[in-house]
């Protein structure tokens, strides 16, 4: 084997190795598990849902399908081509034996009454706009569902953390009560009370764990993730965003809401279909053009010249009851579309009022807890703990201070989660981002 042949073989082997390496890397990347960021940000969840959520993909496909139907709406029906062996003698089946025989070719085209095709196209275009608006509304509502599920997960995670922290604190209080009881300066009932409270809190922890699993499953379903996948801790819940005025929100929902845009587009499509139903009750015309190929039979006065023919067929809509019923059907659908628009407008206004009131309440509770109740609960617990150690207060008061702090911390996390969820619901109802 020559030196050049060796070089060629080595080059081929090197190229093959490189291709196998690249292919292996691509396969490994394709098979590698999805990397979920830690901590889990809301933006990642929203981006993931935009490409993975099946309900959003379904609404996108529906919008694409309706949009594609516009291209076929308003078009003429396909022309029809026909062939006949005309006036064929049954004796010899010879098309050349008589002057009337021949090969008949025909072309036929149906022409509806003017305005019918344009009306159908306008109705299809309005339906496409409705489908696109419905997809946008689905996207907004999915974003709201995800933020609420994300907030619920964040609350469940932090509630479990607060419960664990209070378990540690309660065990410390129990040790203090046991120490005081052993040295004769405390009561046995204080130790029992601490043990009862500890058992109660352990039961609460079990409920917190169950809530955490439920919240993880709910968010994973929206993100099209495996249900058993454990999600990392979320980013912080706190968000400082100004609350928009209720009057401004109500004033702009008609223009901003994709749901109302969908309803208006459906009204427009129904109006176009009423007009097309009316036009369908008028006659339409089938135009025909024929060409007969003939042979000279010897007795033909025109020496076997081909024949050309033209004509039309007029559809006679004599059964007026059928067409009147068709128009009545479309008019009823138009009334339905208008009623659905009014119902959607009223429902959105109600959703906005409820979500806005919940948002204002959650915002006020967060402010109250951060600036007042939570610092006071911390201070009260420290004071009670010091007072119990020097026998200035009883153990029941100490436990009460610990419970108040636990409840205040849970209320703060719940209020922050509720604030986010209410903001998300408000944006879905209005149809635009407000933060």
- Rounded to whole angstroms, the maximal C-alpha distance in the chain is 142
Quote the pLDDT of residue 411.
Answer: 95
pLDDT, residue 30, reads: 38
- Is 254 inside a domain boundary? yes
SS3 of 23-72: the string is HHHHHHHHHCCCCCCCCECHHHHHHHHHHHCHHHHHHHHHHHHHHHHCCC
Residue 314 main-chain phi, psi, to 5 deg: -110, 120
Return the pLDDT at 297. Answer: 65
In a domain, 210, yes or no: yes
Domain contains 204:
yes
Tell me how many domains the chain contains. Answer: 1
Other C-beta atoms closer than 10 Å to the C-beta of 227 total 10
pLDDT at 202: 94
pLDDT along the chain (435 residues), means of 10: 45 45 38 77 95 95 95 91 86 74 91 93 96 96 97 97 92 85 82 89 94 94 86 91 94 95 97 95 94 76 82 91 94 97 97 96 95 92 83 82 92 96 96 91
What is the reported pTM? 0.80
The dihedral through the CA atoms of 61, 65, 66, 71 has a sign that is positive
The residue range of the domain holding 387 is: 55-76+112-282+317-430
Per-residue confidence (pLDDT) for residue 62, from 0 to 100: 95
- Per-residue pLDDT, 296: 67
What CATH number does residue 268 fall under?
1.20.1600.10
Residues paired with residue 289 on neighbouring β-strands, in sequence order: 107, 310
Q: Do the domain assignments include residue 259?
A: yes
| Domain membership flag for residue 202 | yes
Q: Given this model, what pLDDT does residue 33 score?
A: 63
């Amino acid at each position: 084997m020559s030196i050049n042949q060796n070089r060629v073989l080595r080059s081929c082997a090197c190229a093959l190795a490189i291709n196998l390496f690249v292919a292996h890397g691509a396969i490994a990347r394709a098979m590698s598990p999805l990397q979920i960021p830690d901590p889990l940000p809301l933006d990642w969840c929203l981006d993931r849902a935009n490409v993975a959520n099946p309900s959003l993909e379904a609404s996108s496909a529906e919008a694409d399908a309706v949009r594609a139907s516009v291209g076929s709406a308003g078009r003429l029906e396909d022309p029809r081509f026909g062939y006949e062996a005309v006036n064929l003698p049954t004796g010899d089946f010879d098309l050349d034996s008589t002057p009337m025989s021949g090969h008949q070719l025909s072309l036929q085209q149906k022409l509806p009454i003017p305005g019918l095709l344009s009306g159908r196209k306008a109705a299809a275009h309005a339906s496409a706009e409705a489908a696109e608006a419905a997809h946008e509304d689905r996207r907004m509502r999915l974003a709201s569902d995800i933020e609420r599920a994300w907030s619920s997960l964040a609350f469940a995670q932090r509630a479990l953390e607060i419960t664990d922290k209070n378990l540690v604190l309660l065990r410390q209080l129990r040790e203090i009560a046991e120490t005081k009881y052993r040295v004769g300066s405390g009561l046995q009932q204080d130790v029992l009370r601490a043990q009862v409270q500890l058992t109660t809190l352990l039961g609460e922890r079990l409920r917190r764990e169950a809530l955490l699993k439920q919240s993880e499953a709910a968010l994973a379903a929206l993100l099209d993730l495996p249900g058993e996948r454990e999600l990392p801790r979320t980013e912080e819940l706190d968000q400082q965003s100004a609350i928009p005025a209720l009057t401004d929100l109500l004033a702009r929902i008609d223009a901003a809401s994709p749901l109302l845009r969908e309803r208006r587009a459906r009204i427009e499509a129904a109006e176009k279909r009423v007009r097309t139903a009316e036009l369908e009750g008028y006659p339409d015309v089938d135009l025909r053009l024929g060409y007969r190929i003939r042979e000279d039979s010897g007795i033909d006065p025109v020496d076997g010249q081909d024949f050309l023919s033209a004509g039309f067929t007029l559809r006679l809509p004599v059964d007026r009851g059928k067409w009147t019923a068709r128009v009545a059907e479309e008019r009823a659908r138009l009334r339905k579309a208008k009623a659905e628009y009014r119902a959607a407008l009223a429902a959105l206004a109600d959703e906005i009022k409820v979500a806005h009131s919940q948002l204002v309440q959650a915002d006020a509770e967060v402010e109250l807890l951060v600036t007042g109740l939570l610092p006071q609960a911390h201070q009260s617990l420290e004071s009670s703990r010091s007072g119990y150690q020097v026998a200035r207060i009883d153990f029941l008061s100490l436990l009460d201070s610990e419970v108040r702090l636990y409840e205040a911390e849970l209320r703060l996390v719940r209020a922050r989660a509720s604030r986010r969820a209410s903001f998300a619901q408000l944006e879905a109802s209005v149809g635009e981002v407000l933060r």
